[in-house]
Amino acid sequence: MSKATIRNLLAAVLTALFSVTLIDAIFNISNMINPGVSNIYNALGTQIAPNLVTVVIFDFRAYDTLGESIILLSAGLVVLLIFGRGLLGDKR
């Protein structure tokens, strides 16, 4: 028995083991999911406004939205700084 055959046999066994574990995980994963804080969000958010996405973006995580708008501001600033270098200074 050559070395390649042993390796193929080992690979086949390990692949079978892995696939059995994967299928088991796929069929049992709904028991393992914990909704966690999502229930609280779903209960509280619909008291504020019907669109839960906007409630999350502008109420629970409004810091995040502030940071995103600052990203846009700095993007415009960097465009002006980099691409306008040498163009704007000469005209003044």
Partner 1 sequence: MSQGSVILKLVSLPISIILICLGIMTILGGHITPGGGFQGGAMIASGIILSILVYGIGNSPLELSHTYIEVLESVGALGFVIFGLIGLFVGGFFLYNVGADLLNVVPQSIQSVLHYPDVTNAGIIPYLNIFVGLKVFVGLSSIVIAFAGFKKLTEEGE
- Exposed/middle/buried for residue 86 (C-beta within 10 Å: 0-12, 13-18, 19+): exposed
Cβ of residue 19: shortest distance to partner 1, in angstroms?
A: 40
The window from 3-11, 13-21, 22-30, 60-68 that contacts partner 1 (CB under 8 A) reads: 60-68
Residue 42 sits in the site that holds partner 1 (CB under 8 A): no
Identified binder of partner 1 from the candidate list 28, 39, 63, 89, rule CB under 8 A: 63
Q: Which of 12, 20, 23, 75 binds partner 1 (CB under 8 A)?
A: 75
Whose Cβ is closer to partner 1: residue 13's or residue 73's?
Answer: 73
If binding is defined by CB under 8 A, does position 24 make contact with partner 1? no
